[in-house]
Structure 1
């Protein structure tokens, strides 16, 4: 499957079952409920902590578990959103995804925990003198974050391919040792031309993309930046649409206030934008894993089996 086919399929896939899409949105809304409640009612600190544990950890784990199920079933060739069942297993898989994400993000969390308290404690003069140092740290964290997201996506897909085994999310040798790292034979600017054509979806360039990239790490990288660019477009566009729609609806109903505005935005984001992007990225990750890493693993296993039979 080409990159353009992968992305096109993933853009349509969230609409394969409207009821399941809506139910995922409701789960996401429940996970964000502590923030909605904090807007409405002044609660005790410990009550807010408990709500966050229930909302983000418990319900959030179910959301992550369902997205993991999307990846697993997409790897098996299923073209419809999964059924909501086997809730305990979904919750366990969601916790595994929490562990994978936190493990890979430890360097960013450490830098953030060091930089931001220091920035708040420094005076203006000391802050100016330390500006370069903190800027370098933040750039390192940003660079690491950009690339580690790709690693996390492939790791989660590899975990789904291995039946949900947690440690398979850290099997780098298994994921990448059999994937060829073919370099571009064309000038480096061709990379950016390919990336733009994928995003724009121009059919005449589809063959060119597959010929220059091949099924290798290069294809995964181009897919990653193309998917990221499309997601960013959806986020910016969705934010503007939700913002304008919230103001318009509340103004029409003569019900406008900052509180109602924030609540309506959370509703729209939770029920539409966030589930769509989450499903899109999960589906796209599974399909690119299928066409690159999984196919390489299957080919390698076939070769090993052939040699084993030959030796016997």
Structure 2
């Protein structure tokens, strides 16, 4: 497997259709409307309502991310259409739940150490013992390390779900997932992960600098442009690269196949 070819394909993939980048961007802007509205609204109830609406719409974003993976696994080199919204929404829920379930250990760690601080405050409201603060810091670091390690495995788990026709349980068939990682190669998985992090940081930084110029007009405009262009591009890149990595033993990168299904 050539990671360079994989990355090259995934970087070019979103650029094949700017309209779809903008369509996904609109979904992501609406998904973040709750946070954006905090900059110019004071009504907490309205902000909460917008946040709920944004969360629901954001699931469509997850659904399209999943649709890219399925489409790429089928050997299709074009961005998938924005249609079948009910299916996209359901798939988005599945992706969100998979991510949450795999993240539970990190959540538990944070809750445990947060609870220790709360208990310390209740017993002594005037100050927080240094031990509780150190413990909380350790908990956050451990949670971050766990997420750093588990993220590439979550990516393969989601791809495994896509490969198995959106079967939710496929994301938790651990022996199947680890067998697939063994086929890909742990070294290749780690290399892909490191390259993806670098690509993500570089593109986000460059996009942030360019869109940051619009902060002279309005800070909100910078946030909107990031969500409208940069973030959807990165999500498309990650989805495409995950699919290519998962099927790296079966596909030729950059192929122009237009099939709609894979054979298992």
Please name the residue that 1:4 is paired with. Answer: 4
Q: For the structure 1 residues 264 and 38, does the alpha-carbon distance in structure 2 shift closer, same or farther, using more than 3 Å as the test?
A: same
SS at match of 2:247: helix
Q: CA shift at 1:151, angstroms?
A: 1.2
1:226 corresponds to which residue? 195
Asked if structure 2 preserves the Cα contact closer than 8 Å seen for 1:29 and 1:270, the reply is: yes
- Corresponding residue number in structure 2 for 1:50: 49
Determine the C-alpha separation between the residues in 2 that align with 1:111 and 1:128.
18
Among residues 82, 85, 89, which one is paired with 2:83 in the alignment?
85
Residue 235 of structure 1 aligns with which residue?
204
Structure 2 vs 1, CA of residues 237 and 128 (structure 1 numbering), >3 Å: closer, same or farther?
A: farther
User: Which whole-Å CA distance do the structure 1 matches of 2:126 and 2:149 have between them?
Assistant: 33
- Say whether the 8 Å CA contact 2:117–2:128 is kept in structure 1: no
CA distance in 2, matches of 1:104, 1:72: 21
- Is the Cα–Cα contact under 8 Å of residues 180 and 217 in structure 1 kept in the other structure? yes
Q: CA deviation at 1:42?
A: 1.9
**Cα offset, 1:219, TM superposition:** 1.0
1:247 matched to 2:231:
no
* Change over 3 Å in CA distance of 1:175–1:133 after alignment to 2: same
Relative to structure 1, is the Cα distance of residues 179 and 268 closer, same or farther in structure 2, using a 3 angstrom cutoff? Answer: closer
2:171 is matched with 169
Question: CA 1:219 to 1:130, structure 2 compared with 1: closer, same or farther past 3 Å?
Answer: same
Per-residue deviation at 1:34? 1.9
**1:83 is paired with a residue of what secondary structure?**
coil
Of 264, 286, 293, which aligns to 2:221?
Answer: 264
How many residue pairs get matched?
248
Per the alignment, residue 259 of structure 2 pairs with none
Scaled by the length of structure 2, what TM-score is found? 0.85
TM-superposed CA distance for 1:217, in Å, is: 1.9
What is the Cα deviation at residue 177 of structure 1? 2.6
Q: For the structure 1 residues 242 and 112, does the alpha-carbon distance in structure 2 shift closer, same or farther, using more than 3 Å as the test?
A: farther
- Contact 2:110 2:136 (C-alpha < 8 Å) held by counterparts: no
TM-score by length of 1: 0.73
Of 110-119 and 269-278, deviating more is 110-119
Unmatched segments (≥5 aa) in structure 1: 182-214, 251-259, 296-312
In the TM superposition, what is the alpha-carbon distance from 1:21 to its structure 2 partner?
A: 1.1
Matches within 5 A, 1:178-257: 180=182, 215-243=184-212, 245-248=213-216, 250=217
Contact 1:16 1:79 in 2 (8 A): no
From 281, 286, 305, the counterpart of 2:243: 286
Selected match of 1:76 from 51, 74, 77: 74
166-175 or 129-138, which deviates more? 129-138
Match in the other structure for 1:194? none
Partner of 1:141: 143
Could you tell me which runs of 5 or more consecutive residues in structure 2 were left unpaired when the two chains were aligned: 252-264
CA RMSD of aligned residues (A): 2.3
**1:117 deviation in Å?**
5.8
Deviation per CA, 1:92-125, whole angstroms, max 9, x where unpaired? Answer: 0001111101101111122223334655747796
Distance in 2 of aligned mates of 1:179 and 1:240: 36
